[in-house]
Structure 1
Amino acid sequence: MSHETDAAARGEPSTGSAALPATQRSLAPDLARGFMLLVIATVHAHLFRDVTGGGGFSLDGPLDVAATALMALFGENRGYPMFAALFGYGLAQIHLRRRAEGREWPWVRRLLRRRGRWLVVIGLAHTALLFYGDIIAVYGLIALLFTAFLRMSDRRLLAHAFAWLAAGSLCYAVVSELLFSAAESTAGAGDLTWLTDMAMRLAILPGFLPLMLVISVFPFLVGVWAARRRLLDEPERHLPLLRRVAVWGVGTAVVGGVPQALVNLAVWDAGPVTAAAVFWVHLITGYAGGFGYAAVIALIAVRLNRRPDERRGPVVGALAATGQRSMTCYLMQSVAWAVVVPPYALGIGPALGDAQAVALGIGVWLATVVIADAMRRAGFRRGPAEWFLRRMTYGRPSAPAGAG
């Protein structure tokens, strides 16, 4: 009996359900993931400067002021909603594809939950070894807890989504404002070591995971809804909707980011309650911005799809390669932060100005783009993290017929 037949007999996923070849992948989701990693890199680098500096943003000159304002308007709380929506989109794609293959729901559910468990494992290792702000484990928990939502009707799905939007965003705004203030008051400790840093990361994890989960469910469910309509796979069929989402989403994010920008620029000295309210507005409008960014990229993909692959240019190919290897590139960013930010490593965070920190984030992202494109050119269809997750989800590839 072959490995695949044996796995099927046990009701387990097998590699018989192959991933789509790169030539058959939709361009828009990969471009969106590649761009999203730029937003995440710049936001992380900017916030590292804020926290490790011990005195907030530097605001030392017009470049720093401009960088901090732009991050509030276009970056902070605008990148991760798109990431969460893309995760929901991808998980729904797996569900729809496997059901189209004739797989029964219990088989698909086991597949998705097994994927979720390994995402949690990867995320916990990521937290322990590298970075306190992991989101991989958060998405793993969502895959474990919300798999049944993939079978809901659109009406029920969106009702749950907006309920999570209302309750989750308010909870996150209040709690995170309190936690961030406490983190700022204790920042800049010079006696931090790698071991104590790891202990702190693991200690805050039980509070961090549910906090991130409550604000990720809404965009995740919206991503599931979008996948059912193939908004990113077939953007040319949804141009009016995508144009509205692009204009209103990005516009809403910019307007809603103005109060937070004034707080970050020290123009507005908001009290604790007002600061939490301002952050809540920033968070809510950030969802609109994330969806708007995805819509903008889908509209760009419509134009690019009209060209042959060889005429899309090296930049598009490199960005798509980054999106195809988004988890690997995300983890590579964390390796960079672990080298340059902590005081027990290079410790350059406090020495950077706000604009320099954003430039560092862009540089780290560009390095991951170059590496991802090199993987593509070398013939590697996936990054190491994607390869590992797929192997753990589906198991070892089955042997060719007649082998052995």
Structure 2
Amino acid sequence: MASSLAAPTVPLVPVGGATGPADRSLAPDLARGAMLLLIALAHAHMYLYGQPTGFRGYALDGGPVDRLVAGLQVLLVDGRALPMFAALFGYGLVQLANRRLTAGAEPTEVRGLLRRRSRWLLAFGFVHALLLFFGDILATYGLLGLVLAGMSRARDRTLLLVAGLWTIVFAGLATVPALGIVANGSPPLPTSADSPLEAVGLRLVTWALLAPMLALDVVTPFLIGMWAARRRLLDAPGRHRLLLTRIAVLGIVIAAVGGAPLALIDASIWTDWTPGGAVPAYALHSVTGIAGGLGYAALAGLVAHHRGAAPGRVIVALAACGRRSLTCYLLQSVAFVALFAPYAGGLGGRLGDAGASAVAAITWLATVLLADLMRRKAWPGPAERLLRRLTYGPQPPSRLSNA
């Protein structure tokens, strides 16, 4: 039964429990660290308030620079980073299962471990939404792990078939938000609440509705990430350079072409759109975002291959951020609430989309520098350490010192 969790062509990593830096592949961590910039850009404008917004939450009355930023982010960021992280999450689940099986665990124990970790991710997501951000993605991955952990035993053909069929289902589901926006306009976001107590209630209500929807959005990249882990596409990118190049080029091009119509709408360039054009544009943007997310992950694999022998300070710092991605992700929300909320810094009522993206980039850079400092001090990310302890129980310090 152990072989059913990994294709026979995939050598398992003979490590149990947590993974130390010497055991980790560069590409997944590099991808997480770099893509946290896209997460920050995608989330920061959601903290703005007092302006009418379009399909992806960007202000309709912004200046030329704001419109340019909105168009570029709809084209390259929105709906692209989340699928990429979902693919990496599926990739990581298979890696974790392989390590535990090689360490002698029974398949039932492994599935229990995956589901326990997923339940704790769901709990982390609830607390994150309660205190900081309604658009939490931790609960999304927790739900995926709980529902789809059993797919780690499926054959490759089954994984790819289900992923393909779900893409068709998702194309239909993706029209639902667009139809609602066309009929009623963009709903107000809970980030505009005037008091912390009011914000808590609004965040939880929005999160409870949004988290299951986000999970449905990323089933396909999650399953493809599982398939990719069996072939060690990111663990051994040099052996798969041609395939990764094709995925990177095709994925990013498909995402850019598919996202262009909605980008033109949200940038207020295509102003005479009709529901008959906008709804398909929204669905096309969503579906092609899957290709973009996979393309970004493949690109990280190629960079890791070319720079793996001598990664340099920038690559090392980005990978350190990726190893502490949970901590850095949560720190982004802490910073955004402190800076943007009406009851805190109040920048959400004064900045436009371009200003919010500038704050997002600076915040992300600060987390990269902090993660690199923690790397040099050999400190794990506190959120990663807590999740690991909750998942595995107490472990020797040598295990916990590596994020």
The TM-score normalised by the length of structure 2 is 0.88
Mapped pair 1:38 → 2:37? yes
Partner of 2:308: 305
- Tell me how far apart the structure 1 counterparts of residues 327 and 165 of structure 2 sit (CA, whole Å): 33
Partner of 1:367: 366
Mapped pair 1:279 → 2:285? no
C-alpha offsets along residues 72-108 of structure 1, whole Å, 9 cap, x if unaligned? Answer: 2111111111011000100111112212223210110
Mapped pair 1:339 → 2:299? no
> What residue ranges of structure 1 are gaps of 5+ in the alignment?
1-15
Local SS of the residue matching 1:134? coil
- Tell me how far apart the structure 1 counterparts of residues 359 and 121 of structure 2 sit (CA, whole Å): 28
Partner of 1:396: 394
- Tell me how far apart the structure 2 counterparts of residues 399 and 313 of structure 1 sit (CA, whole Å): 28
> Which is greater in Rg?
1
Instruction: Name the CA shift for 1:104/1:191 in 2 (closer, same or farther; >3 Å).
Output: closer
Instruction: Name the CA shift for 1:97/1:177 in 2 (closer, same or farther; >3 Å).
Output: farther
- Tell me how far apart the structure 1 counterparts of residues 112 and 211 of structure 2 sit (CA, whole Å): 23
Partner of 1:178: 180
- Tell me how far apart the structure 1 counterparts of residues 181 and 217 of structure 2 sit (CA, whole Å): 16
Local SS of the residue matching 1:53? coil
Kept in 1, the 8 Å contact 2:47–2:192? The answer is: no
Kept in 2, the 8 Å contact 1:58–1:353? The answer is: no
Partner of 1:314: 313
- Tell me how far apart the structure 1 counterparts of residues 332 and 182 of structure 2 sit (CA, whole Å): 22
Map 1:168-317 onto structure 2 (within 5 A).
Answer: 168-175=170-177, 178=180, 184=186, 186=188, 192-268=194-270, 269-307=272-310, 312-317=311-316
- Tell me how far apart the structure 2 counterparts of residues 327 and 187 of structure 1 sit (CA, whole Å): 24
Local SS of the residue matching 2:16? coil
Shift of 1:180: 9.1
Map 1:352-363 onto structure 2 (within 5 A).
Answer: 352-363=351-362
Partner of 1:5: none
Letter paired with 1:277: P
Kept in 2, the 8 Å contact 1:246–1:296? The answer is: yes
Partner of 1:3: none
Instruction: Name the CA shift for 1:52/1:213 in 2 (closer, same or farther; >3 Å).
Output: farther
- Tell me how far apart the structure 1 counterparts of residues 385 and 317 of structure 2 sit (CA, whole Å): 19
Shift of 1:273: 4.5
Kept in 1, the 8 Å contact 2:17–2:99? The answer is: no
Kept in 2, the 8 Å contact 1:54–1:187? The answer is: no
Partner of 1:13: none
Local SS of the residue matching 1:238? helix
Instruction: Name the CA shift for 1:133/1:190 in 2 (closer, same or farther; >3 Å).
Output: closer
Kept in 1, the 8 Å contact 2:190–2:206? The answer is: no
Local SS of the residue matching 2:136? coil
Kept in 2, the 8 Å contact 1:325–1:383? The answer is: yes
> What residue ranges of structure 2 are gaps of 5+ in the alignment?
1-14, 399-403
Kept in 2, the 8 Å contact 1:53–1:187? The answer is: no
Letter paired with 1:105: P
Partner of 1:124: 126
Kept in 2, the 8 Å contact 1:58–1:354? The answer is: no
Would you say how many aligned residue pairs link Structure 1 and Structure 2? Answer: 379
- Tell me how far apart the structure 1 counterparts of residues 93 and 290 of structure 2 sit (CA, whole Å): 19
Kept in 2, the 8 Å contact 1:87–1:223? The answer is: yes
Shift of 1:342: 1.9
- Tell me how far apart the structure 1 counterparts of residues 210 and 72 of structure 2 sit (CA, whole Å): 26
Shift of 1:171: 1.2
Shift of 1:189: 9.2
Instruction: Name the CA shift for 1:213/1:60 in 2 (closer, same or farther; >3 Å).
Output: closer
Shift of 1:182: 5.2
C-alpha offsets along residues 45-75 of structure 1, whole Å, 9 cap, x if unaligned? Answer: 23434x5533552665543232122112111
Kept in 2, the 8 Å contact 1:169–1:284? The answer is: yes
Shift of 1:303: 1.0
Percent identity over paired residues? 45
C-alpha offsets along residues 231-254 of structure 1, whole Å, 9 cap, x if unaligned? Answer: 000000001101111111111111
Kept in 2, the 8 Å contact 1:52–1:188? The answer is: no
